[in-house]
A and B are shown apart, each in its own frame.
Chain A
Amino acid sequence: MTQFAELTIAGLALGAIYSLIAVGFVMVYRSSGLLNFAQGEFATLGAFLMTTFAAWAVLPWPVALLLTVLVMMAVGMGIERVIMRKLLGRPPFIGSIVTIFVGFLLSVAVLWIYGSSTRAMPTPWDPVKIVEVGGVEFTLTNLVTILVAIVLIGTLAFVMQRTPMGMAMRAVADDQEAAFALGIPVERLLGLTWGIAASLGAVAGVFLAMFPRSATVAMGLLAFRAFPAVIIGGLESPVGAIIGGSALGLLQVHGEYYVNPHLGDFGIGFHLVLAFIVMIAFLMIKPHGLFGTKELERV
């Protein structure tokens, strides 16, 4: 039972990272109908930026994280302004394909700035420090990951649900032309959506880089593993993204411990495949995801 609880916390921490990525993905999808294949590269670039900022001895760790978030927000808004805005009103698949190249550009930028070596992700706490609560042990890193994700996603949910700006952003997602007709600054809000997606991705990248304890250029692919979360939760549901993300994290961690050993050699790395098996099962049984709507068929 203790073992199960410990794995659950580790799974939730991984799930928190997936959720951050998935929420960013869903926000872009909802607001503009685009599948943003660059979302994983936001994680990579964010993680590397964080290694730079956190290495500046003058910056306390939380400030470095905030700076990373702000810079990535600007990066996301810049991508919308310079590239995606030109495609407004075109079929969404064109924009979706363009995001593949945007991701490519971002990874080239990372390679160009940081080279192909890995970088340690600094943390202000001892990353292997174990916290014990009622006999259940987990790392402090896991705890911080979960807390940061809750705070970020909670703040975002508040802004989206309760503020006029959030309502205007949802209006853009609901009916772009109607939003235009009401004089809502659609482009600016789409830019903001991209900025939020990029900074959520960046925070995910920062924490993702804490598990193997380094940022690598391959992280974009790691982040891509969050994709099943979006399918499970439903492409246009932020709540679904969180539930899908958490489920995915739990599935991987529990799967690795409980399923892999029973499969012999075949079981090595099986937990990673498990997520995609579940995703395909969902596509067959519930193609719109847990919280998806039929509207997806329009696209």
Chain B
Amino acid sequence: MLSIRNLEVAYQDVVHVLHGVSLEVERGAVVALLGPNGAGKTTLARAVSGLLPIHDGSVTGGTIAWGDQSLLGLDSRARSAMGIAQVMEGRRIFTSMTVEENLVAGGFTKSARKHLRDRTEDAYAMFPRLAERRKQRAGYLSGGEQQMLAIARALMSGPELLILDEPTLGLAPSVRDYLRGVIADVNSRGTTVLLVEQNADLALDVSFYTYILEAGRVVHDGASSELREDPDIQEFYLGIHDGGRRKMQDVKRYRRRKRWLS
């Protein structure tokens, strides 16, 4: 289980981004982290996967543990060895390398090297589109294919926890639906998933439990099926509302947030 308690993160020691976030991801679950731009979702993902130091960020308070082991102080390589993998926002595939080379790079960690062949085959079985393009330069793939590659590449290390940071951003609805299936598929094979999203519809649909992060704080959380019925969530995150109220969104959200906080 991933358990985060009262997590505080700051960049350059002065830009405080997370203000006491607590969150739990049970083993085998799909948990979504939903929130608007700049809420701190990516920051939380970095704190778990160990990428904060690269951004001159650090955990200034609270704890992060995977099972009974604290992750604080471990570098990204140690966390990867513990079974934590992250698909970064924006896909970030190695554009100058072929599809297959991307997968090999993803399986370069010590424990993964001996599974290289099996897992490459698994990846191609899961994403036939990638198999067809295995010798192509990854930079020439479509956005959806690049996202598939980013996920396949992260799976090469055989992770127990997969963090997906906005995997559907900028993709066509049909691709989004496909990826929704991929996430369910990955999860059904035993991988725990923490899904960071702005797209509430997808997040609530694919996850068991959802946290809503705004301005560095968890303002709401609950079973995804329940949140889906919540009128406020419907209004502010699912966009289900009467035509005229849309422009009021920001005002409303502000008021709403106040209520959640109290």
Interface residues of B in 153-167 (CB under 8 A from A): 153-154, 156-157
A182 near B109 (CB under 8 angstroms)?
A: yes
List A contacts of B116 (CB < 8 A).
Answer: 164
Q: Quote the shortest CB–CB distance from A88 to chain B (angstroms).
A: 8
Q: Does B34 contact A (CB under 8 A)?
A: no
Q: Does B85 contact A (CB under 8 A)?
A: yes
Interface residues of B in 26-58 (CB under 8 A from A): 49-51, 53-56
Give the tally of cross-chain contacts (CB within 8 A): 86
B97 near A171 (CB under 8 angstroms)?
A: yes
List B contacts of A183 (CB < 8 A).
Answer: 76-77, 79-81, 85, 108-109, 157
List B contacts of A179 (CB < 8 A).
Answer: 105
Q: Does A89 contact B (CB under 8 A)?
A: yes
Tell me the interface secondary structure of chain A in the complex: helix
Q: Does A170 contact B (CB under 8 A)?
A: yes
A177 near B105 (CB under 8 angstroms)?
A: no
Contacts A171-B94, A174-B97; is A181 near B86 (CB within 8 Å)?
A: yes
- The distance in angstroms between the C-alpha atoms of A174 and B101, with both chains bound, is 12
A180 near B54 (CB under 8 angstroms)?
A: yes
- The distance in angstroms between the C-alpha atoms of A164 and B100, with both chains bound, is 11
Residue from A165, A174, A177, A179 whose CB has the most chain B CB atoms within 10 Å: A174
Q: Does B96 contact A (CB under 8 A)?
A: yes
List A contacts of B76 (CB < 8 A).
Answer: 180-181, 183
Q: Does A167 contact B (CB under 8 A)?
A: yes
- The distance in angstroms between the C-alpha atoms of A44 and B85, with both chains bound, is 44
- The distance in angstroms between the C-alpha atoms of A88 and B81, with both chains bound, is 22
- The distance in angstroms between the C-alpha atoms of A185 and B97, with both chains bound, is 18
Interface residues of A in 162-195 (CB under 8 A from B): 164-165, 167-168, 170-171, 174-185
Q: Does B256 contact A (CB under 8 A)?
A: no
Residue from B55, B77, B109 whose CB has the most chain A CB atoms within 10 Å: B77
List A contacts of B79 (CB < 8 A).
Answer: 183
Contacts A177-B54, A183-B77, A184-B105; is A170 near B97 (CB within 8 Å)?
A: yes
B96 near A167 (CB under 8 angstroms)?
A: no
List B contacts of A171 (CB < 8 A).
Answer: 94, 97, 101-102, 105, 108
B54 near A89 (CB under 8 angstroms)?
A: yes
Interface residues of B in 183-211 (CB under 8 A from A): none
Nearest residue (CB) in A for B75 is A180
Q: Does B218 contact A (CB under 8 A)?
A: no
Nearest residue (CB) in B for A175 is B92
Q: Does B93 contact A (CB under 8 A)?
A: yes
Residue from B55, B102, B106 whose CB has the most chain A CB atoms within 10 Å: B106
- The distance in angstroms between the C-alpha atoms of A32 and B95, with both chains bound, is 16
A181 near B53 (CB under 8 angstroms)?
A: no
Q: Does B59 contact A (CB under 8 A)?
A: no
Q: Quote the shortest CB–CB distance from B14 to chain A (angstroms).
A: 17
A167 near B51 (CB under 8 angstroms)?
A: no
Q: Does B71 contact A (CB under 8 A)?
A: no
B86 near A168 (CB under 8 angstroms)?
A: no
List A contacts of B156 (CB < 8 A).
Answer: 182
List B contacts of A180 (CB < 8 A).
Answer: 50-51, 54, 76-77
**Closest A-B pairs by Cβ, 9 of them:** A183-B80, A171-B105, A174-B94, A178-B92, A183-B109, A168-B108, A180-B76, A167-B101, A167-B104
A-B contact pairs, 5 of them (CB 8 A): A164-B116, A168-B104, A170-B105, A177-B88, A183-B108
Given contacts A175-B92, A178-B94, 18 further A-B contacts (CB under 8 A): A89-B53, A89-B56, A164-B104, A167-B104, A171-B105, A176-B54, A177-B51, A177-B92, A178-B92, A179-B105, A180-B76, A180-B77, A181-B88, A181-B154, A182-B105, A183-B108, A183-B109, A185-B77
